[in-house]
C-alpha cells in the first residue's frame, strides 16, 4: 500500500486531514477547531508522504516529526499521525487500540471539556451557577474543570485584583503578573463556593493560567489545599507558550499538596522529559492533536507512569475525529490515567456528518470503547459535502 495523496479541508471550524492510498483505503485526522490556518501547514507535508507505506507509521513519522513545533505547529503532524493509524487499522481490520498494544479498560473516563455554560460574571454565585449546570448535565460527569484566574479575563474584570494593566494581543492569556491580596482572596472564595456545590461526589479541577508568579501560585495552592482539588493546571506556562520551565514548576509543586498539572502545548516526548524526570508536576496533560499523535502520547504516559506522575490528556477542541482518537489511545494508557477532556462538535452539525460514534456518546461520565476498524468513525460524505468551501470541493473525491 502506498500514499497517493494528502488533502486538507476546513469543515466548520476544523481542518480535517484525509490521506488517500492506492488500495482505496483512506484515513482521517482532525486539527483543533481554533486552528483553521493550519490547513496550509498540513499540505506542506504532502511531498514528504507521497509514495510511503502508511501502515509503517513510525517510519513515516520519522520523516516529518522534527518539522513540527510547540502549539499550534505540532497539530498538523499530529493529525497526519491520527490518519495513518486510521488507515492501518482499516487495512488489518482491527481497532486502533489493538495497534497501540491493546486496551486496559473497556470504557474511559472523561471530564466536562467542551460542555460548559458561559460565566455571567466572576462572583462566587456565578461560579456556583456554572458548576451546577455541569453537575446536572446528562453526561453525569464525575470530574469538572473550571477556568479561573489568568485562563480568561477574570482578573482584568475584577477591579483591584492584580497589579499592572491588561495586555492584549493575537493570542489569549497574555495578561500575567502579581495579584493583590484582594484578588487572591476573592478567587479562593469562588473556589470554596464551587467545591461546596459539587460536594465529595464530583471532583473539581482548575484551569488557572498561564500567567501566575511563583509566589502567588504557591500562596493560592496552599490556600485551597483543604478542598482536595484534583489539580491546578497551567499556572506558569500552558496554552500557546512554547517553553516548559520545569524548574519553575518544580518550585511550586514542592510547596503544596495540590497536584500541579501542565502539558497541553508541548510537542514531542523529548519536551516532557525534564518535567517528568525532575518531578516538576504531579500530572501531565498532553493533547494528541498537539503532542505529535497517539503513539507519542502513549510514550509520554508510560514514561510518566514510571516516575509516579499521573496523566489527564487535554482535548477540548479536538472535535469528533479527535474524540475517537482520544478514546482509542486512552483505552491503552497505564493506570496513571485519570480522565481526558471531552471535546464536543463545533458547529453542532458535525454530529450529522460523522458516523460511528456511540449513541449516547457518554454514559455515567465514561465512553465505552468500540471495536470497529481504524478509529471507527468516518464521514457521511453526501451530508459533509454541503459544508465544504469551494476551494475544498474535491476533498472527498
Q: What per-residue confidence (pLDDT) applies to 173?
A: 64
Residue 204 has what pLDDT?
98
- Per-residue pLDDT of 313-350, as tens digits, reads 999 999 999 999 999 999 999 999 999 999 999 899 99
Q: CATH number of the domain at 3-94+380-392, please?
A: 3.30.390.10
CB burial of 151-165 (b: ≥16 within 10 Å; e: otherwise) equals bbebbbebeebbeee
**Which residues make beta-bridge pairs with 15?**
10
Give pLDDT tens digits for 125-181: 999 999 999 999 999 999 999 999 999 889 989 999 999 887 777 666 667 899 999
For residues 74 and 268, the answer to whether their CB atoms sit within 8 Å is yes
Domain ranges for the chain = 3-94+380-392, 98-373
The Cα-based distances of 152 to 57, 133, 146, 171, 185 in angstroms read 38, 19, 11, 11, 18
Q: Please report which helix (H) or strand (E) contains residue 28, including its range.
A: strand 26-30
Q: How far is CA 388 from the centre of its chain?
A: 25
How far, in whole angstroms, is CA 270 from its chain's centroid?
Answer: 18
98-373: CATH superfamily: Enolase-like C-terminal domain (3.20.20.120)
Q: Which residues of the chain have pLDDT under 70?
A: 170-174
Contact 216, 179 (CB under 8 A): yes
Report the candidate in 297, 281, 362 with the shortest Cα–Cα distance to residue 330.
Answer: 297
On the question of a common fold for 3-94+380-392 and 98-373, the answer reads no
Global pTM value: 0.97
Give the pLDDT score at 175. 76
Amino acid at each position: 500500500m502506498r500514499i497517493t495523496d494528502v488533502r486538507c479541508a476546513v469543515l466548520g471550524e476544523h481542518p480535517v486531514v484525509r490521506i488517500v492510498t492506492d488500495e482505496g483505503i483512506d484515513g482521517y485526522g482532525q486539527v483543533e477547531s481554533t486552528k483553521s490556518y493550519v490547513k496550509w501547514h498540513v499540505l506542506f507535508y504532502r511531498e514528504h508522504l507521497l509514495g510511503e507505506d502508511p501502515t509503517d507509521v513510525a517510519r513515516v513519522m520519522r520523516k516529518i516529526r522534527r518539522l513540527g513545533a510547540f502549539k499550534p505547529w505540532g497539530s498538523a503532524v499530529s493529525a497526519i499521525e491520527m490518519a495513518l493509524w486510521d488507515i492501518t487499522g482499516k487495512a488489518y481490520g482491527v481497532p486502533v487500540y489493538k495497534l497501540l498494544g491493546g486496551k486496559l479498560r473497556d470504557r474511559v473516563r472523561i471530564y466536562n471539556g467542551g460542555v460548559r455554560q458561559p460565566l455571567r460574571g466572576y462572583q462566587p454565585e456565578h461560579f456556583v451557577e456554572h458548576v451546577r449546570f455541569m453537575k446536572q448535565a446528562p453526561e453525569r460527569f464525575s470530574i469538572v474543570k473550571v477556568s479561573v484566574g489568568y485562563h480568561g479575563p477574570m482578573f482584568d474584570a475584577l477591579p483591584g485584583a492584580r497589579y499592572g494593566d491588561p495586555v492584549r494581543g493575537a493570542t489569549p492569556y497574555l495578561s500575567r503578573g502579581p495579584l493583590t491580596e484582594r484578588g487572591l482572596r476573592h478567587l479562593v472564595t469562588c473556589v470554596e463556593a464551587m467545591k461546596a456545590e459539587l460536594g465529595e461526589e464530583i471532583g473539581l479541577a482548575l484551569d488557572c493560567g498561564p500567567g501566575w508568579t511563583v509566589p502567588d501560585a504557591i500562596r493560592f495552592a496552599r490556600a485551597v489545599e483543604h478542598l482536595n482539588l484534583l489539580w491546578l493546571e497551567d499556572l506558569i506556562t500552558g496554552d500557546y507558550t512554547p517553553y516548559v520551565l520545569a524548574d519553575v514548576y518544580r518550585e511550586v509543586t514542592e510547596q503544596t499538596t495540590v497536584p500541579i498539572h501542565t502539558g497541553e502545548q508541548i510537542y514531542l516526548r523529548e519536551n516532557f522529559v525534564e518535567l517528568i524526570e525532575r518531578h516538576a508536576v504531579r500530572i501531565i496533560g498532553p493533547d494528541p492533536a498537539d503532542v505529535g499523535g497517539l503513539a507519542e502520547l502513549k510514550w509520554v504516559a508510560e514514561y510518566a507512569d514510571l516516575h509516579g506522575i499521573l496523566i489527564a490528556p487535554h482535548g477540548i477542541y479536538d472535535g469528533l475525529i479527535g474524540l475517537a482518537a482520544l478514546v482509542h489511545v486512552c483505552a491503552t494508557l497505564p493506570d496513571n490515567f485519570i480522565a481526558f477532556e471531552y471535546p464536543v462538535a463545533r458547529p453542532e452539525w458535525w454530529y450529522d456528518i460523522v458516523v460511528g460514534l456511540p449513541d449516547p456518546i457518554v454514559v455515567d461520565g465514561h465512553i465505552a470503547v468500540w471495536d470497529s476498524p481504524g478509529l471507527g468513525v468516518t464521514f457521511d460524505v453526501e451530508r459533509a459535502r454541503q459544508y465544504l468551501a469551494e476551494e475544498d470541493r474535491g476533498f472527498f473525491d
